[in-house]
């Protein structure tokens, strides 16, 4: 145990290797999910004109997430679903508004 060469210089050259950095696996943002939630939010102002693209982008984003699991960050699925819900809600509101308008129009013509 009491080796006198413990603190001696090494006889073989020591290769200096830089310490490795832990690799950060930065997941990508899903641009279709972002587009879906933005179009869904704009449906408050532009109605069906942005609701339909919100639904299309939301479905495309969900299929992309299903094809490539683990590639995108965890908020991508949430944004896709939010865009889909907003899009479908505003499509439903638009269809309901058109139906109410038609019923009022038919009742008005029938009363005349």
* Per-residue pLDDT at 14: 67
Rounded Cα gap, residues 51 and 42, in angstroms: 8
C-beta of residue 87 within 8 angstroms of C-beta of residue 43: yes
> Residue 72: helix, strand or coil by DSSP?
strand
User: Where would I find the beta strands (DSSP E) of 1-112?
Assistant: none
- Quickly count: other Cβ atoms within 10 Å of residue 47's Cβ: 15
pLDDT tens, position by position, 85-108: 999 999 999 999 999 999 999 999
Rounded Cα gap, residues 56 and 35, in angstroms: 10
* Per-residue pLDDT at 84: 96
């Amino acid at each position: 145990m009491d080796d006198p060469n413990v603190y001696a210089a090494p006889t073989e050259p020591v290769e200096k290797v830089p310490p490795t950095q832990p690799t950060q696996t930065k997941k990508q943002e899903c641009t279709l999910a972002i587009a879906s939630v933005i179009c869904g939010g704009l449906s408050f102002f532009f109605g069906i004109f942005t609701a339909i693209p919100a639904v299309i982008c939301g479905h495309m984003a969900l299929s992309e997430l299903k094809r490539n699991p683990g590639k995108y960050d965890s908020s991508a699925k949430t944004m896709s679903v939010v865009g889909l819900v907003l899009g479908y809600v505003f499509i439903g509101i638009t269809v309901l508004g058109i139906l109410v308008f038609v019923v009022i129009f038919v009742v008005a013509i029938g009363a005349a």
